[in-house]
Amino acid sequence: MTGDEPSADGGGDDERRTGDDETRSEGDETRIGVDVGGTFTDVALSVDDRLVTAKVPTTDDQHVGVLEGIHKACDRAGVAPGAIDGFAHAMTVSVNALLERDGARTALVTTEGFRDVLEIGRQNRPALYDLAAEKPEPLIPRGRRFEVDERTTTDGVERPVDADEIRDLAATLRDRDVEAVAVCLLFAYADPENERAVAETLREELEVPVSASHEVLAEFREFERTSTTAVDAYVRPAIDRYVGRLAEAADDAGLPAPWIMQANGGIADSETARERAVTTTLSGPAAGVVGAAATVDDADVSGLITFDMGGTSSDVSLVRDGHVERTTDAEVDGLPIRTPMVDVHTVGAGGGSIAWVDPGGALRVGPRSAGAEPGPACYGRGGTEPTVTDAAVVLGYIGPETALGGELTLEVDAAREALERLADEAGLEGALEAARGVYRVANATMTRTIRGVTVERGHDPREFALVAFGGAGPMHATELAESLSVDRVVVPRPSGVLSAYGLLAADESYDAARTVGVDLAAADPDGLEDSYDELVSAVLADTSDADAARVERAADCRYDGQSFELTVPVGDEFDEETVATRFREAHERAYGYAMDEAIEVVTLRATATVPGSEPAVRHDGRGDDIVGTRNAHFLGVGPRTATVFDRDRLAPGATVSGPAILEQAESTTVVPPAWSGDVLADGTLVLSREREPREGAP
């Protein structure tokens, strides 16, 4: 593919501008989604029935790259930013703050005797048999953790807070120059009266954001509730600054206010995101899973393993029966976060992951990444360390004429030199052998991650299709499928920017929860209904259109004496027998057995969803799709002459037989020997392999 075909909207310049026969009719909705990754910022613009994409390097100040990407996509589409009707955005601000530990200078206010909850955590250890294993340092050091004299139990307030004590505490916090405050009092989830009084006084006395646990996470488990509230406070100033700058820049450009992707897979208005910063953690990976689920409707699959390989990391998740898997038991860098999230597992293996040799002489890949600057050696921006992308260049998957992102040409010699140095250090025979090794190691790391969400959870990966996306995902997908005995790989048409596309298809969604802790058989249905009414009212109040919202009610249940819960749906009326049956069925699916023991209803949940709409995108490949051939080296097979296709010009109904390489501006798909692919009506590529894995597959 040449550099004058930079967009994934169907190809050349005539598709990039609006001509006399392509005028937009009044009432057409034009929407844009922008996802910030560790290396690139991806853009998907839906205008009329076209999808126009762009990819630009991620900037240190993320909103600058976001605006650059928007202008680039608008120029390609021939529309002005002011013509855009909807703007959705996924970012890495909060997760970067957690990983790099550069969030706000935060204080914790808690009940007397509980200042060390963050430090004590749980009795489980990071590595069971490693006596030297260390837990991550708390976000809030002990010197900024303060106690107040109060007492609340599950039965209510026993000792109210002293207003003068809280005002004195506010003065102390002001003297300590804190930038955010987390308030988490004992049993505030059951009765928030004392915590509400503390938070309100601190908000009156201080000019910094105050996160209260009953507003962030009204659930039991003291450590997890405290940790989640601390995370919210820690990242809130950064989110507030970033979203504020982005909204201002968007307004200056004539764009609508941004809607922000939450970790639960739904978008929310920017003000909600600024007030509930913890919900933005891992918003980018969540958008990718939503995009994968939205683009495979025509691929005739019921279970999906989503595989998103970008420049810095790879993200894996499951979609079963059309539903994105969610969890309330997630961690980021060892920090528990209990808000609802798309269940994504991340590993530090991306296109920019650096290959290195450990002290024992073993070849390793990641987690350190070359990022966007200087990037892999082949970028020609000063990078010299070998990366997975450099290995792809040496193996022939990415050619010297390939233009990454539509404009970044590659320096093959620089990639080869970087791999030669790695080969010398690892004792391998030249750059090609080093490139094979890098690919095998990276693939093994990603295969283990996929096994973690399938085999280790009782799912047979052979019953799923692998959906590959991200800039590098389709290059590795068939090799991963071989190692997992997966027969089908689905590569959506906007695979290189699928997280940005997912933003266009995402629903508006809000969650609320409350721990009740009652025995199911003895529960008061009217009391539970009252609690549900409050939760439903809260989530509906957050929506932009309560009349259009769909409300789902659920309950976390467990057998009496268990320390873990399963979430089961609850209908419009709480029915004891129905809930019990659903819980036992869920327990048998998850653990292989069910019991006739007492059941406890632990936490009530409500979710309000305003359905979004996936953009209708035309795909009309022209058929002049072959652009040449290239010598490529396939693992377990060896060198082969591969046909190189322009992916965007493949016509619906076309079949591609391996060995082949399909190029787009934002991604490359590798089809090895013994694999073939069919192009669906919307441009989705469905790859399938022979029933028996080929000899020598990793």
Q: pLDDT of 169-190, one tens digit each?
A: 999 999 999 999 999 999 999 9
- At 122 the pLDDT is 84
The two structure tokens encoding residue 259: 């809607």
Cis link prior to 367 (omega < 30° from 0)? yes
The 3-class SS string of 257-320 reads CCEEECCCCCEEEHHHHHHCHHHHCCHHHHHHHHHHHHHCHHHCCCEEEEEEECCCCEEEEEEE
Query: What are the DSSP calls for 424-464, one per residue?
Result: HHHT-SHHHHHHHHHHHHHHHHHHHHHHHHTGGGT--GGGS
How crowded is residue 301: how many other Cβ atoms within 10 Å of its Cβ?
Answer: 18
- CATH architecture, range 13-97+241-280: 2-Layer Sandwich (3.30)
401: amino acid identity, one letter: E
70: amino acid identity, one letter: I
> Which residues in the chain show pLDDT less than 50?
1-27, 693-698
pTM of the full structure: 0.86
All residues at 6 or more sequence positions from 692 whose CB lies less than 8 Å from its CB, including other chains: none
Degrees, nearest 5: CA angle 452-456-459: 100
- At 694 the pLDDT is 46
- At 517 the pLDDT is 93
CB 226 within 8 A of CB 248: no
What CATH topology corresponds to 508-610?
A: Dna Ligase; domain 1 (3.30.1490)
Sheet-wide strand order for 180-184: 145-148, 106-111, 180-184, 210-212
| Burial class (CB within 10 angstroms; exposed 0-12, middle 13-18, buried 19+) of 310 | buried
Instruction: Give how far Cα 58 sits from Cα of 34, 495, 627, 697, Å.
Output: 11, 18, 30, 35
- At 28 the pLDDT is 56
Instruction: Give how far Cα 288 sits from Cα of 66, 314, 489, 648, Å.
Output: 17, 11, 16, 20
205 vs 572: CA distance, rounded Å: 43
417: amino acid identity, one letter: E
573: amino acid identity, one letter: E
276 vs 269: CA distance, rounded Å: 11
The two structure tokens encoding residue 58: 């991620």
Q: By three-state DSSP, how is residue 63 classified?
A: helix
All residues at 6 or more sequence positions from 139 whose CB lies less than 8 Å from its CB, including other chains: 98, 101, 103, 106, 118, 230, 231, 234, 335
CB 290 within 8 A of CB 296: no
267 vs 393: CA distance, rounded Å: 37
Residue 240 phi, psi dihedral angles, 5° rounding = -60, -45
Q: Which residues pair with 387 in a beta bridge?
A: 354
Q: By three-state DSSP, how is residue 526 classified?
A: helix
Residue 215 phi, psi dihedral angles, 5° rounding = -95, -30
- At 458 the pLDDT is 83
Per-domain residue ranges of the chain: 13-97+241-280, 508-610, 626-689
